[in-house]
Amino acid sequence: MICYTKGVTGPRHLVSIADLDAAEIVRILDHGDRYWSLADEPIKKLTSLRGRTVINLFFESSTRTRTSFELAAKRLSAEAINIAASSSSTTKGETLLDTGRNLLAMHPDVIVVRHSFGGAAAMLAEASRCAVVNAGDGQHEHPTQGLLDAATIRRHKGRVDGLEIAIVGDIQHSRVARSNILCLSKLGARVRLVAPWTLIPRGIELIGGELTRERVRVCTRLEDGLDGADVVMMLRVQHERFAGEAPRFPNTRELSRTFGLSERTLQYAKSDAIVMHPGPINRGVEVSPQVADGPRAVILQQVSWGVAIRMAILERAVLGGPSSAEQAA
């Protein structure tokens, strides 16, 4: 039986992977496992969050994350309400906190928030009586992506512990990289960060203290970074976060030539290595179409896991864990 120990009396926020220990991460992944096969059922609806309200508050664009949170809420019979930045009162000068306070006055059970400011989810969680789930805050974290990536790896490799995982691309601006470094290290993997120096933040290996200092290493050559890797996770260049920065590489074509994943460069990794990408993919830039659509890619499975893991996260947020019906099953 799954049993969450933390936050039993208060809201179960999910702001950062840093707040979860390995046992709790495994509990969430086990919880998500129960919903993986639901996608194959003709009727995909459960009732555990009937009468509950989930607000998706998105100040940055999103396809997969917003849709999967909405689907996850609906599959648990919760009401899902979507607010996009362009239609919110922040465009009229309202602060994030004031928007949050107004939404809280309507008594939702969960607020899922995405914002360009790293720290936005934590700020809202501090002011909130209901659970706050971080759907990506600036360059800081994207914890549900880290969890769904771990679930995908576990499904394909049978474990995370002991695997060699290469994260390749724009580490500098990637919240996905930060959440994955923490999540995968906590689960016992070794992580290589593969990019030119200019796309790797100084001291990133220390993001999780001693644990990540031991488990994370930086590689500035693709060949070294992929050598013997079980998992290759590609990241796009986050051009939208470069505003005001000096150029970090000569041009995208050159970056693609030296750090792009093609059928040729994938051969540096183990012959059974899987290829992941959080999306959106820039085909022909960080990953070739042949690899993205090839047999080693599990990119669309990541999207499917997104729904299952977000169902688990919403139940954890509202109920503290799986519904009692689910526990009994």
Name which of 313 and 318 has its Cβ closer to ligand ASP. 313
Q: Least distance in Å: CB of 146 to ligand ASP?
A: 11
Over its C-alpha atoms, the chain yields an Rg (Å, rounded) of: 19
For residue 11, whether the previous peptide bond is cis, meaning omega lies within 30 degrees of 0, is no
CA distance 125 to 319: 17
Please enumerate, as own/partner, the contacts of 290-299 that have beta carbons within 8 Å and a separation of 24 or more: 290/262, 290/263, 291/261, 291/262, 291/263, 291/266, 294/263, 296/266, 298/152, 298/156, 298/274, 299/275
Q: Least distance in Å: CB of 231 to ligand ASP?
A: 17
Q: Which residues bind ligand ASP (CB under 6 A)?
A: 136, 142, 175-176, 236, 238, 278-279
Name which of 201 and 279 has its Cβ closer to ligand ASP. 279
CA distance 271 to 273: 6
State which residue has the least CB distance to ligand ASP.
278
Name which of 68 and 265 has its Cβ closer to ligand ASP. 68
Q: Least distance in Å: CB of 308 to ligand ASP?
A: 18
Name which of 236 and 316 has its Cβ closer to ligand ASP. 236
Q: Least distance in Å: CB of 233 to ligand ASP?
A: 11
The DSSP letter of residue 245 is: P
The dihedral of CA 281, 284, 289, 295: what is its sign? negative
CA distance 133 to 28: 14
β strands within 18-109, DSSP E: 53-58, 79-84
Name which of 238 and 323 has its Cβ closer to ligand ASP. 238
Name which of 205 and 286 has its Cβ closer to ligand ASP. 286
Q: Alpha helices, DSSP H only, in 46-95?
A: 64-75
Name which of 34 and 142 has its Cβ closer to ligand ASP. 142
Name which of 130 and 147 has its Cβ closer to ligand ASP. 147
CA distance 110 to 55: 6
Q: What is the dihedral of CA 310, 104, 17, 30, to 10 degrees?
A: -30
Name which of 173 and 316 has its Cβ closer to ligand ASP. 173
Q: Least distance in Å: CB of 7 to ligand ASP?
A: 25
Structure tokens at 210: 């001693």
3 state DSSP class of 40: helix
Q: Least distance in Å: CB of 236 to ligand ASP?
A: 5
The DSSP letter of residue 284 is: T
Contact 29, 149 (CB under 8 A): no
